[in-house]
Amino acid sequence: MTDRSDLSKLPSYQQPRRSVFSARKIALMASVVAGLGAAVYGFGPSTSPADLFSSPAHAQVNNEVRKVERPIGFADIVERVKPSVISVKVNMKEKTASNDSGDDESSPFQPGSPMERFFRRFGGPDGIPGLKGGGGRGRVVQGQGSGFFISADGFAVTNNHVVDGADKVEVTTDDGKTYTAKVIGTDQRTDLALIKVEGSSSFPFAKLADGKPRIGDWVLAVGNPFGLGGTVTAGIVSASGRDIGNGPYDDFIQIDAPVNKGNSGGPAFDTNGEVMGVNTAIYSPSGGSVGIAFSIPASTVKSVVAQLKDKGSVSRGWIGVQIQPVTSDIADSLGMKKAEGALVAEPQANGPAAKAGIESGDVITSVNGESVKDARELARTIGGLAPGATVKLNVLHKGQDKVVNLTLGQLPNTMEAKADIDKDSGKGASRGTDVPKLGMTVAPADSVAGAGKEGVVITEVDPKSAAAERGFKEGDVILEVGGKSVSTAGEVRDAINTARTDNKNSVLMRVKSGGQSRFVAVPIAKG
């Protein structure tokens, strides 16, 4: 009789199927648990519990975590830089303050300027942090903004629109003390101002950064939003090189740190505690912060402040040209491989460029060996040089490269342009001659009152035509087509046919509108 307790010794004995399944299931669950342990804690199975926290793998993970460790706060930085930031309060007569009347004199920017239109469109005066407001006519009103010391003896930076027109300027420091300040100089083109605070020679001051911030870098905005002095907000650099329509020197840093009215003129600090920019404007449909603010780069602040401190004003280099961007269509028309450089629409009479032989249609590609990316970069580069300096320009002239040396003039404080064409210049004129496939009619300019003696004046534009799409309108004067001067409709047609024969996709026209010249690339149909 076989002993039941020894059945496993029988050759034919097999474990029940259910037991085998259970063993596999348990093994699978164990492997999952072990895997979870490795994933969550950074280690694998070990024979000793003490090894779980001292294994080489765990130590390596900890080391990697330390390498990418980030600060959990900015308290140390703020404690160091906040004393250099000041609240700027101004008193002025009501005529320089904003009001509800909509008068142009209330704006801190030139009436009709791109900057003014930009902020009136996106939230009106509330779109400008620190903009002065309120008060009845003839009364003294107050405005306030922010600023920061740049030297121990009391020199401080703020915005031009904060102190513009101020009769009295006072600053309040981080420790609550109030001092009187004097405006040393302002620069409307960059919206910067330098003030001098009297009363001490040991003010805590901030350093302007030497390098350019990178997109994604941390930024701290410190200022006086809504009169709440010493407020700190944090964010990142969202973009650089922003053009917001203020002028040819636009090169703003865009940040997403909350900035509001009263922050104008305040500093934007990097994590080294250095000023990367001066907060000057916000994009705001509602008047409050929506996370899009613009700061003037430290490099611009340095150059402007140095001149303001030296002579109270800013002098900029000037070559005397109207310029425009080189679009892909224009580049194709000129036979250029890349759409880059600055196209000279018209050299100004007796300006440095005209005297040096630069002509309409030339493309300036570099300044002193440094490539020019676009028209804005040329304006900033030339504007950053001192009047009287000699520069070397590389120019594409009628398809050939040439070098032009010229001496910079000084940018005039006011630039005026006269319109050569009356708005009603087309009245009483003949209908003109059709220009095929462009959708417009033209007539010799000397046959239309007020149109001048050169070129052909546009007397009619089909609103659905290629000409209308490119911005041509009645009263514009076409001076050149394909690099050739034109005075009749026939010459326009001939120039277009020549471009078509040369297998060009578009023809370049120089057009005068409202006293300003520009080049327009117009597509031409084949055949």
Could you give the residue numbers annotated as active site?
Answer: 161, 191, 264
143 backbone dihedrals φ, ψ, rounded to 5°: -135, 165
Rounded Cα–Cα distance for residues 495 and 507 (Å): 8
**Per-residue burial over 206-234, b = 16 or more CB atoms within 10 Å of its CB, e = otherwise:** bebbeeebeeeebbbbbbbbeeebbbbbb
Taking CA atoms, 59 is separated from 54, 55, 139, 218, in Å, by 7, 6, 71, 30
Rounded Cα–Cα distance for residues 290 and 132 (Å): 20
CB 175 within 8 A of CB 83: yes
CB 301 within 8 A of CB 192: yes
CB 263 within 8 A of CB 224: yes
Rounded Cα–Cα distance for residues 428 and 477 (Å): 17
Rg of the chain in Å (alpha carbons): 34
Distinct helix (H) and strand (E) counts, the chain: 11, 27
Rounded Cα–Cα distance for residues 305 and 193 (Å): 8
* DSSP-derived secondary structure letter, 209: -
Rounded Cα–Cα distance for residues 120 and 94 (Å): 20
Rounded Cα–Cα distance for residues 177 and 163 (Å): 20
The CA dihedral of 320, 477, 491, 448, to the nearest 10 degrees, is: -130
Q: Angle at Cα 231 formed by Cα 227 and Cα 237, nearest 5°?
A: 120
* DSSP-derived secondary structure letter, 257: S
Structure-block tokens of residue 253: 């840093």
Structure-block tokens of residue 13: 């004995």
